[in-house]
Amino acid sequence: MPVTTLRLSEDELQRIDRIAGQQGVDRAVLLRRAIAEGVREILLSDAIARYQRGECSAWRAASDAGVGLWEFLDELQRRGVPFRTDERHLDGLIEELG
C-alpha cells in the first residue's frame, strides 16, 4: 500500500486519537475510514448536484457515485431532492437500463 504524508494540527491529531480510542481502533484505521467516507460523500454530492442540474439521469449519477440506483434514490429522498419524472429523463433512464 502506498504511503502518503499528511500534516495535521496538534488539535486535529488529538481529536483523531480521541475518536480512535473511543472506537477501539488505531489512528491509521480511523483516518482510512474517514477518507473513504469523505470521498464517498464527495462523489455522491457531486452526482446529486449534476442530477439536479439535469446533466445526467439518476442511473448515470448513481453509477458515477459508485452506488446502486435504489440507494441513490433513497439518498435523494433523504436529502429532499425531488425525483425528475419528465419524459426526457425517463427515456434516458429506460435507454440506460435497456
| Distance from C-alpha of 72 to C-alpha of 69, rounded to nearest angstrom | 5
C-alpha–C-alpha distance, residues 33 and 83, integer Å: 30
Each domain of the chain, given as residue ranges in start order, spans 10-97
Looking at per-residue pLDDT, the higher value among 49 and 89 belongs to 49
Using CA atoms, how far apart are residues 23 and 17, in angstroms rounded to an integer?
A: 10
Give the C-alpha separation, 39 to 50, whole Å. 17
Q: Is-contact 37 45, C-beta < 8 A? A: no
Q: What pTM was estimated for this model as a whole?
A: 0.77
| pLDDT tens column, 46-65 | 999 999 999 998 989 999 99
